[in-house]
Chains A and B, each alone.
Chain A
Amino acid sequence: MNVHFSNPGAAPVLQRPLVRIVIVGHVDHGKSTLIGRLLHETGSLPDGKLENLKAVSARRGMPFEWSFLLDALQTERDQGITIDTSQIRFRTSSRDIVLIHAPGHTEFLRNMITGAAQADAAILIIDAAEGVREQTRRHGYLLHLLGVRQVAVVVNKMDRVDYDAARFAEIETEITGYLAGLGVVATAVIPISARNGDGVSLRTDAIGWYAGPTVLEALDHFIPAPPPQNLTLRLPVQAVYKFDERRIIAGRIETGRVAVGDEIAIMPGNKRAVVKSIEEWPVPNESQVPRDASAGQSVGITLDRELFVERGHIVSLASSPAAAGRSLRVRVFWLHQAPLAVGTKLIVRIGTAESRGVVSAIDKAVDPGALENIANVAIATNNVGEVEIALSQPLAADPHTLNPLTGRVVLELDGRIAGGSLLLALHESDVRQAEPETIAAVAKLRAPAVVRDLAARAAELAPRFASLSPVERLVQFRNDVDGRITFTTSFGIEDQALLHMIQKSGIDVDVVTLDTGRLFPETYDLWAETERHFGRRIRAVYPRHDELEPLVARRGINGFYDSREARTACCFVRKVEPLNRALKDAQGWITGLRADQSANRQRMDVVTAEADRNLLKLSPLFDWSRDQVVEFAKTNGVPVNPLHDKGFISIGCAPCTRAIRPGEPERAGRWWWEDETKKECGLHNRG
């Protein structure tokens, strides 16, 4: 449905950003009413609509119902609930908005998902009298799985609680806490009465105590999700056409770019060819023949040689092919009436590919509405969980942390879409312990060649992050960075505190340590204890034997004491090069650096651009003191290295770390034989 209103001074239609916003929340909390109100207050209703709604309400013996605007089906009006999703357009002074209207009733969750999956941003609505309810939580959880990153919360029906600021604050605390746990930071929490018109486009006297944005202002801050051009090329093949002498591979580019002359790999199978042309209709004249194409475009390409290519294959750059495998681990949301159980046979769809599959294991089953873990036998309708699926034929894909688009897996049962999921891992075969191999395969994926304006990005993020707490920084960083985020830990107390925060907030982060081979025995013990404590494996990256062996042969096992040059050579082989590999595919890097750790590090910021590595670096604890970290670790029962108690503050390799005396600068304990100003080890380059 479309509504228009004239808006003098608005930008021409096609240049205005178009943002898709879904309104979700528990049944009857006022989604439909809010939409009606928004359209009314912005003068967006078509001629005759208001009179029509009045007549329709009156005919049903009801007071005026805004919800009838979108609840157009007879059964919806008769029952007073929304059954299916719909969309309506309107326009604010700065942008065009597609409002996606979704049902709140649990029976129609599949329709809510149909709507929400198309959204760039969401408004989660909560009835002030009823507070956070089952579908509030479920919808919040699903937004995250669906990839909707921008969320504003609206506390509606404030008139029912006499516009009580304390009640508002109570709900605000509960919902922001819940969302933060999912890795979502609400952009605003707004008290409104959709029925009376408080807080929708006006900050009325009734909510005079509230200083934040109105709903309309919050909408104006949402931005369209950009097409992921910065990720590496993924072009799922829809079909190969041979209508004439050309053999055209057709599909829509999910991420990245492709150009004539690129060497590409067809996955699965890893067959190589070079892109010969990009085809177009009408056939352009010579000078306008396209040379490249990027994410979001539907294209056709031809290759320099005949390869077997078919629907379902993924075209990627030869330098960073997609992964392929026969066994998937996914985080799923399940919509079918029959529960998803071990042995359930499905059709698995990734991009344009499909394969038969069978559920081989169920690891976690969660009811996101009740916040309960359920016995790991089956995933019931509208619940979520983690499952392993064995496929009858290999499919190409990427873990969703590396590519949010080719990391989406759809499950079909009885010829009907029955669930959606995010790919956590992809194995060659049905081996559940294949973790390291998977990681190795995944490590082949290369990040984009150049991220433009990385520095500008960091400069923009840093001030925003400055006012946040470390946990909020982590969550926000996860929201702002597409693709993999790697956290490098050396098991120092800062790193331990950070790992605790990462685990608590549930954000998706790759945790890596560099094993130089020269660590303290205590550090290895702590490593093992940390894995037990948090219930997760920490990925270890080792020096290359073909570099380390000649180095030790040349300099001796403790050659690093001889000169600064020998020391940096050792650090390079044992730490820097492995770090480069660890971060190769990362778009974001989390470190435990604090600004007051050494003279050098005082020039750091909370978010910095690492141009060489082409990533953004986050140091969530940059403004914490040592004491704050110690205090945090203690109150949260985080395991720490016993060496800290023996005067070791900054712990690295055993031969190169010593205890410091009270009053000495923290990093005086590292490479104590060298000048304080030159002590960076090369891990944290700057300048």
Chain B
Amino acid sequence: MDRLDDLEAQSVFILREAFARLKKVALLWSLGKDSNVMIWLAHKAFFGRVPFPVMHVDTGKKFAEMYAFRERYAKEWNLDLIVEHCPPIETTDPTLPPAARYAARKTEGLKLARAKHGFDGVITGIRRDEEPTRAKERVFSPRGAEGIWDVRDQPPEFWNHFNASPPQGAHLRVHPILHWTEADIWAYTRRENIPIIPLYLSQNGKRYRSLGDADITSPIASDASTIDEIITELDATKVPERSGRAMDHESEDAFERLRTAGYL
């Protein structure tokens, strides 16, 4: 087994645990590289069939390429797709910095969608290497009734045993690719030939490393126009992945506040 086999085996194990131990789960499909890998892993885990709904919480602000991708692969992958829309930006806390309000909108959309469908588990594609508060996450992460993450009181989690019985009213976030890195995602995408949105590949000297809402996500300068070139580029870079995401950088605790309030 090489490193990718190992990552895959662990993720498959986690997905099967989530499906076995929770009553009603959904996989959050942001259409980005990480959630595409998750969908691929789900096919592996369940031998060609994704046995739970795949949910896109849509801000309506995504790139056109992303919507095209969604329509095509929902069909091709035979997904039980749920699209839910976020409430308007005016409903969010006006004291938050501007980009954070976008995130808050998404958090609210997720909260409403979860309540509407009664999911007790939401599978998401966050990774430890993205950001320091994500590095502190559990694989099965309990969320309070309002979606609140209590970072001061996370339960112990070890030896591949997960806490899958959240208290009444609470739910779980499940993180099957928490242990992967950005480079792992690309290496696996290449090995397995997983489709991606072309925005990740360089055009006119620019490409996206991370895809969020079109109006608050900026591309990086890059000539990497194939996945191989992306892998080589990542090997040398010292620039963090989410540097193009405005919401992370508005203040020291901006992202922590978003996450404890229920953001991914």
Contact = CB atoms under 8 A, between A and B. Distances in A.
Interface in B134-189: 134-136, 138, 151-152, 154-161, 163, 165-167, 181-183, 187
A110 B157 CA distance: 8
Question: What does DSSP make chain A's interface, helix, strand, loop or mixed?
Answer: mixed
Contact of A6 (B3, B13, B182, B236): B236
Contacts of B256: 72-74
Interface string A304-335: 00000001000000000000000000000001
B131 interface: yes
11 contacts: A2-B241, A13-B183, A15-B2, A72-B132, A73-B136, A114-B156, A239-B19, A282-B43, A297-B1, A298-B12, A415-B165
Given A72-B136, A300-B47, A418-B156, 8 more contacts: A73-B256, A86-B128, A87-B135, A88-B135, A117-B159, A298-B13, A311-B20, A410-B158
A24 interface: no
A410 B46 contact: no
Contact of B47 (A86, A88, A243): A243
A401 interface: no
A113 interface: yes
Contacts of B165: 412, 415-416
Interface size class, chain B:
35 or more
Interface string B12-32: 110011011000000000000
Contact of B239 (A47, A75, A87, A282): A47
A114 B158 CA distance: 5
Given A111-B154, A243-B46, A417-B157, A296 B1 contact: yes
Interface in B162-220: 163, 165-167, 181-183, 187
Interface size class, chain A:
35 or more
Interface string B36-50: 000000011111110
A88 B182 CA distance: 13
A212 B241 CA distance: 38
Contacts of B74: none
A412 B161 CA distance: 10
A109 to B, nearest CB: 9
B51 interface: yes
B13 A252 contact: yes
Contacts of B134: 1
Contact of A238 (B6, B20, B155): B20
B47 A281 contact: yes
A415 B138 CA distance: 16
A415 B167 contact: yes
Given A1-B129, A4-B235, A241-B46, A83 B151 contact: yes
B75 interface: no
A227 B163 CA distance: 25
A211 interface: no
A72 B133 contact: yes
Contacts of A282: 43, 48
